[in-house]
Amino acid sequence: MIVDAGGCVSGARFLASDNCDERPSGSVIDLLVIHNISLPPGEFGGDGIERLFLNTLDYGAHPYYQALCGLRVSAHFLVRRDGEILQFVSCSKRAWHAGLSVWRGREGCNDFSIGIELEGVDDLPYAQAQYAMLERLTRALRAVYPIVDIAGHCDIAPGRKTDPGSSFDWERFRASIAR
Kindly name the residue from 117, 119, 135, 171 that is annotated as catalytic: 117
Strands (E), the chain: 13-14, 20-22, 31-37, 77-79, 85-87, 93-95, 102-103, 106-107, 113-119, 149-152
Q: What's the CA gap between 167 and 36, in Å, rounded?
A: 11
- Parallel, antiparallel, or unpaired: how do β-strands 85-87 and 113-119 relate? unpaired
Question: Does residue 117 have an active-site annotation?
Answer: yes
Q: How does DSSP classify residue 3?
A: B
Q: Which amino acid is residue 163, in one-letter code?
A: D
- Residues annotated catalytic, as ranges: 117
